[in-house]
């Protein structure tokens, strides 16, 4: 089957080529993001393969359908970038990679928490400049602190387990109680109670209408003063402007984000020689107590290998007309 791969980076190509070797699939790699403007590149391709910041909206889907595309294969877990209702109306199949390595994201999340708390990122720069002073690097013991996990699915449950290992009291907020968390002793509470009690709040829910700007000015006002907020889910789960306000007032103690609500215009490219046009992101980068990374929590060898293997199986299953175990229905994503 011919597959148009959008938003291709060298690592995508390497892993996808390895996983599809000998399968007979013909992958064409495009660096461009998929948008309604670039969808013409996929004309005549029965399948496209997209990533987190492709814009698979109704206009893009209509153009793809018109060009003969029937499968939207997302090489990621979240599918908020796809208009699932429109895809269904157009008779297209959408598939994703439900679990490629929840460990990759969970371990990275804890890395952000530790780095931010103990200011390892600042210490690294200081020492390289010959500054061995400790002023300003004071952290706190995670042991004995309360951590709130919002979304206790595959990733959240692993984060909960690691934080439990540190000796944290772990609170969970989710509409479904995950037995793996319950058996750990994670205490399920309402969001307000979680925010009020947690020293660290970490977000692991998908982006849906219900979670869009879940952490807004109201939620921030309900957080424990000086608490840490970490987001490795999707940027729009937090209201960045409100978060900046809470950081400026000192209400929010620190922020670690691997995702950003306007990231599609910035992330995944080297922009070091250009002027950053995004004023909100630029402001975030000025805070000493903010750590921003460019959507790399998933980026491990294991995760990329699993993503590519799942994509290869998806292409083959679809071509052979089999039911896809990783197909996504609009209702399933809330
Ligand atoms: P999952 O589907 O296993 O777990 C998500 C959990 O969130 C579920 O338990 C669900 O019930 C819960 N949830 C849904 N709506 C909620 C709400 N309104 N309030 C609280 N909880 C809610 O998904 P998984 O694999 O744990 O991934 C979570 C998210 O992490 C993905 O949707 C994706 O957006 C993000 N992600 C980020 C990556 C990165 O590189 N930064 C990589 C992979 C995923």
**Tokens for 327?**
């197909």
Mention every residue, 6+ apart, whose C-beta is less than 8 A from residue 131.
none
pLDDT along the chain (334 residues), means of 10: 98 98 98 97 98 97 98 95 97 95 97 98 97 97 98 98 98 97 97 98 97 98 98 98 98 98 92 96 97 97 97 98 95 48
Please count the other Cβ atoms lying within 10 Å of the Cβ belonging to residue 124. 10
pLDDT on residue 283: 98
263 is catalytic: yes
Q: Would you say 4 and 44 are in contact if contact means Cβ atoms under 8 Å apart?
A: no
pLDDT on residue 104: 97
pLDDT on residue 281: 98
Ligand 1, atom nearest to 258 Cα:
41
Of 204, 234, 236, 261, the catalytic one is: 234
Per-residue DSSP letter, 238: B
**Tokens for 13?**
């190509």
Bridge-partner residues for 27, per DSSP?
A: 3
> Which residue's alpha carbon is nearest to atom 14 within ligand 1?
205
Ligand 1, atom nearest to 173 Cα:
20
pLDDT on residue 334: 33
> How much is the pTM?
0.93
Ligand 1, atom nearest to 152 Cα:
9
Q: Using alpha carbons, select from 118, 116, 138 the residue that is nearest to residue 291.
A: 116
Of 55, 236, 261, 263, the catalytic one is: 263
Mutate to test the pocket of ligand 1, among 205, 208, 256 (most ligand atoms within 8 A of CB): 205
Mention every residue, 6+ apart, whose C-beta is less than 8 A from residue 216.
238, 239, 242
Which residues have any ligand 1 atom within 6 Å of their CB?
77-78, 99, 102, 105, 150-156, 173-176, 204-208, 210-211, 232-234, 258-259, 295, 297-298, 334
What dihedral do alpha carbons 125, 129, 135, 141 form, nearest 10°? 30
319 is catalytic: no
Which SS3 state, helix, strand or coil, does residue 42 take?
helix
89 is catalytic: no
Alpha helices in 188-300 (DSSP H): 191-197, 217-222, 240-249, 279-284
């Amino acid at each position: 089957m011919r597959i148009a791969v959008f938003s291709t980076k060298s690592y995508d190509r390497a892993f996808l080529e390895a996983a599809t070797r000998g399968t007979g699939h013909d992958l064409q790699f495009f660096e461009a993001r998929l948008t309604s403007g670039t969808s013409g590149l996929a004309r005549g391709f029965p399948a496209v393969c997209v990533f987190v910041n492709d814009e698979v909206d109704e206009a893009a889907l209509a153009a793809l359908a018109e060009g003969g595309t029937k499968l939207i294969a997302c090489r990621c877990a979240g599918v908020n970038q796809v208009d699932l209702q429109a895809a269904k109306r157009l008779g297209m199949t959408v598939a994703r990679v439900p679990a490629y390595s929840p460990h990759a994201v969970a371990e990275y999340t804890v890395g952000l928490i530790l780095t931010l708390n103990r200011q390892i990122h600042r210490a690294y720069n200081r020492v390289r400049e010959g500054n061995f002073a400790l002023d300003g690097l004071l952290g706190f013991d995670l042991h004995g602190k309360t951590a709130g996990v919002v979304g206790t699915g595959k990733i959240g449950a692993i984060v909960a387990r690691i934080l439990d290992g540190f000796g944290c009291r772990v609170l969970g907020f989710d509409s479904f109680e995950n037995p793996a968390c319950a058996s750990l002793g994670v205490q399920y509470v309402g969001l307000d109670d979680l925010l009020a009690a947690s020293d660290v709040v970490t977000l692991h829910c998908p982006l849906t209408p219900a979670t869009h700007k879940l952490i807004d000015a109201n939620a921030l006002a309900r957080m424990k003063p000086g608490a840490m907020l970490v987001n490795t889910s999707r940027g729009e789960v937090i209201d960045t402007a409100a978060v900046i306000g809470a950081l400026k007032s000192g209400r929010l103690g620190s922020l670690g984000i691997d995702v950003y609500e306007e990231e599609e215009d910035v992330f995944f490219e080297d922009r070091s020689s250009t002027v950053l046009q995004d004023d909100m992101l630029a402001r975030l980068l000025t805070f000493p107590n903010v750590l921003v990374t460019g959507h790399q929590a998933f980026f491990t060898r294991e995760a990329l290998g699993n993503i590519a293997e799942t994509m290869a199986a998806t292409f083959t299953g679809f071509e052979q007309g089999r039911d896809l175990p990783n197909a996504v229905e609009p209702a399933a994503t809330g």
